[in-house]
Structure 1
Amino acid sequence: MSLTVPSALLDQAQRGSISEEDFLACIQQSLPYAWSVVAGTAEKLQANGAAVEINEDVPQTDAEWGQLFRLMASDSMRAAVERKYGVRLAFQNCCKVGAFAQDATEQYKEFVSMRAQILNQKPELLNC
């Protein structure tokens, strides 16, 4: 299961729409490792005013890997985080998270390119 959903939030969703703030809180509480990586990367981007911030920290446990996969693979979760921080997120291999300023189009295209994927292969990440 991707998220641990509080019963009040589930009830609200069954009745209609939920707020983005409640959704983000659910993500943060359910996937604390992934949240720390993605939010931390976005916050560093904002703080340093750069066009790109890359996090290459390798998760230490299977649970951490799983959290990062779930957050980055979910269009709705990833999009909510992108809206919160005003960034564009990208994921390479199984742990390299990129946060891009909205106008960093060329840097984003390079990060998600086939060439970048090939150049980013590392033997130690073969079975991640």
Structure 2
Amino acid sequence: MSLDVPTAVIDAAQRGEMDDAQFVAVVRDSLPYAWEVISAAADDQAARPEAPFGEHEVPPPSEQARGQLLRALASNSIRGALERHFGVVLAFQNCHRVAAFAPAAVDSAVYREFVSPRGQVLNQTPELRDC
């Protein structure tokens, strides 16, 4: 799944004038489901600052939606831009569990457990095996 990049943004990038705001707008418009999921996790984290992280735990409604989420979280540039935009560090276990950690929480036991092999294994279910 590629991004839908307007000609004006391509031209700006060719001139070396690309900035995060332009790129984030392209991501938001090209990957609306991924934007929705990451926004929800970031909003959850912001609404509950006492919680170690915010999360989104709903399986994607379609293969297209799943592809958008995988694209956003697998791309270093997209993921990094989203993390900077929302002020969080994203963690991803599978297609239905995305977490947004406050940057200060990345050195916490909760973060280390979330991103650990044990955390990954414990988050698996038979119905989400192909996720």
- TM-score above 0.5: yes
In the alignment, the residues of structure 2 paired with residue 19 and residue 92 of structure 1 have an alpha-carbon distance, to the nearest angstrom, of: 29
Number of residue-to-residue matches in the alignment: 128
Aligned amino acid, residue 34 of structure 1: A
1:77 paired with 2:78, answer: yes
Q: CA RMSD in A?
A: 1.1
Which residue number corresponds to residue 117 of structure 2? 114
Q: Check whether the contact 2:43–2:54 (CA below 8 A) recurs between aligned residues.
A: no
TM-score computed with the length of structure 2 as normaliser: 0.92
SS at 1:35's partner residue?
helix
Q: Deviations over 1:64-122 (max 9, x none)?
A: 00000000101111111111121110110222101001121222111100100111111
Which residue number corresponds to residue 25 of structure 2? 25
In the alignment, the residues of structure 2 paired with residue 111 and residue 48 of structure 1 have an alpha-carbon distance, to the nearest angstrom, of: 18
Aligned amino acid, residue 22 of structure 1: Q
In the alignment, the residues of structure 1 paired with residue 77 and residue 38 of structure 2 have an alpha-carbon distance, to the nearest angstrom, of: 14
Structure 2 spans left out of the alignment, 5+ residues? none
In the alignment, the residues of structure 2 paired with residue 108 and residue 76 of structure 1 have an alpha-carbon distance, to the nearest angstrom, of: 22
Q: Which runs of 4+ in 1 moved over 2 A?
A: none
In the alignment, the residues of structure 1 paired with residue 83 and residue 40 of structure 2 have an alpha-carbon distance, to the nearest angstrom, of: 12
TM-score computed with the length of structure 1 as normaliser: 0.94
Per mean C-alpha deviation after superposition, the further-off stretch among 86-95 and 63-72 is 86-95
In the alignment, the residues of structure 2 paired with residue 48 and residue 23 of structure 1 have an alpha-carbon distance, to the nearest angstrom, of: 28
Which residue number corresponds to residue 44 of structure 1? 44
SS at 1:58's partner residue?
coil
**Shift in Å, 1:30:** 0.2
